[in-house]
């Protein structure tokens, strides 16, 4: 199942992508009421497999005829998207987790996952403009990343079976202000500017994705391919990441884990060839089975 969030009149609405259209669950329920059907993406995640089954059964029962009159079938291209996970309790990030990315930045291959975090102020959705914080940085870089979305409480889970705790996956652009990031040994300040984690457009359930360690991943800037790799180049696989983090903190439904970026970022170029993101640049993150996440960079208004 491919879930998303759209913004309408100042509120978030849960939609399901089907056959190039999206179904507005709230509007469908107005026309065809039913008990126990979630209308918020966080409710779907919290409901686990039982909640998903109820939602699937409800969608299957919706009549195809007359749907345009009730207004619950929408054109996905005409919508304003919110973050595909709207209120994660934790945003956990893994650094230097692709072998060739570590090599391009002349960093040693990590022995353990490098963990840092971001905050909810970094979230935004597909299609939104992102204001470059030019007052504090001139070195904003793109990073295509696969995001793990936790679906069940996880503590001390083994690597074998760790993916059973995953609800699904989504795209993120882990935007990074490199000058701020490298200012101190702690990366957080360069990673946590407003809207530095556009997320989406879809949250795709685990059953539809299959093996998350074998997915094509790329980024483009103004249509030019900058990153092109596969999640198989990860140093620590998705199950290793979930298991490792769960040894040190409890993971809850709705927590998200950014799993690192492949080679091809601006920081990986020789210093005299680095051209960081600027006003008007359009960045698209595309991961196999997860759709395309596109955002335009604009100068922050003074």
**Which tens digits make up the pLDDT trace of 122-152?**
999 999 999 999 999 999 999 999 999 999 9
Q: Is 213 helix (H, G, I), strand (E, B) or coil?
A: coil
Q: Report whether pLDDT(67) > 60.
A: no
Question: What is the average pLDDT across 54-75?
Answer: 80
Q: Report whether pLDDT(225) > 60.
A: yes
The pLDDT assigned to 131 comes to: 98
The pLDDT assigned to 66 comes to: 45
**Which tens digits make up the pLDDT trace of 230-263?**
999 999 999 999 999 999 999 999 999 999 999 9
Q: Report whether pLDDT(120) > 90.
A: yes
Q: Report whether pLDDT(68) > 70.
A: no
* Beta strands at 123-124 and 129-132: parallel, antiparallel or unpaired: unpaired
Question: What is the average pLDDT across 70-99?
Answer: 94
Distance CA 59, CA 42 (A): 18
Which residues are registered as beta bridge partners of 98? 234
Rounded to the nearest angstrom, the gap between the alpha carbon of residue 207 and the centroid of all alpha carbons in its chain is: 17
**Which tens digits make up the pLDDT trace of 159-174?**
999 999 999 999 999 9
The pLDDT assigned to 19 comes to: 79
Question: What is the average pLDDT across 277-283?
Answer: 98
DSSP state for residue 96 in the 8-state scheme: S
Quick one: which of 166, 167, 170, 169 has its CA closest to 201? Answer: 170
The residues, any chain, with a CB within 8 Å of residue 290's CB and separated by 6 or more, are: 146, 169, 170, 171, 202, 204, 209, 215
Report field, pTM of the whole predicted structure over 0.75? yes
Q: Report whether pLDDT(211) > 50.
A: yes
Q: Report whether pLDDT(106) > 50.
A: yes
């Amino acid at each position: 199942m491919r879930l998303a969030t759209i913004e309408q009149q100042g509120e978030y609405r849960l939609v399901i992508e089907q056959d190039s259209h999206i179904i507005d669950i709230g509007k469908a329920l107005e026309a065809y009421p039913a008990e126990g059907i979630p209308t918020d993406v966080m409710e779907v995640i919290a409901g686990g497999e039982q909640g998903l089954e109820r939602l699937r059964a409800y969608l299957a029962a919706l009549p195809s005829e007359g749907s345009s009159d009730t207004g619950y079938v929408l054109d996905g291209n005409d919508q304003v998207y919110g973050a595909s996970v709207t209120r994660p309790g934790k945003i956990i990030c893994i650094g230097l987790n692709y072998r060739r990315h570590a090599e391009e930045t002349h960093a040693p291959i990590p022995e353990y996952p490098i963990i840092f975090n971001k905050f909810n102020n970094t979230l935004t959705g597909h299609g939104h403009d992102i204001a470059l914080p030019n007052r504090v940085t001139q070195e904003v870089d793109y990073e295509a990343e696969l995001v793990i979305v936790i679906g069940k409480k996880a503590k001390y889970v083994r690597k074998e079976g760790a993916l059973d705790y995953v609800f699904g996956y989504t795209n993120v652009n882990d935007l990074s202000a490199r000058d701020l990031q490298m200012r101190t040994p702690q990366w957080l300040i360069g990673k946590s500017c407003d809207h530095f984690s556009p997320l989406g457009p879809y949250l795709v359930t685990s059953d539809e994705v299959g093996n998350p360690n074998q997915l094509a991943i790329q980024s483009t800037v103004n249509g030019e391919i900058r990153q092109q790799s596969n999640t198989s180049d990860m140093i620590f696989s998705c199950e290793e990441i979930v298991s490792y983090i769960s040894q040190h903190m409890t993971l809850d439904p709705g927590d998200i884990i950014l799993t690192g970026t492949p080679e091809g970022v601006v920081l990986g170029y020789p210093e005299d060839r680095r051209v960081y993101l600027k006003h008007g640049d359009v960045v698209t993150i595309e991961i196999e089975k997860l759709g395309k996440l596109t955002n335009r960079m604009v100068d922050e208004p003074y």
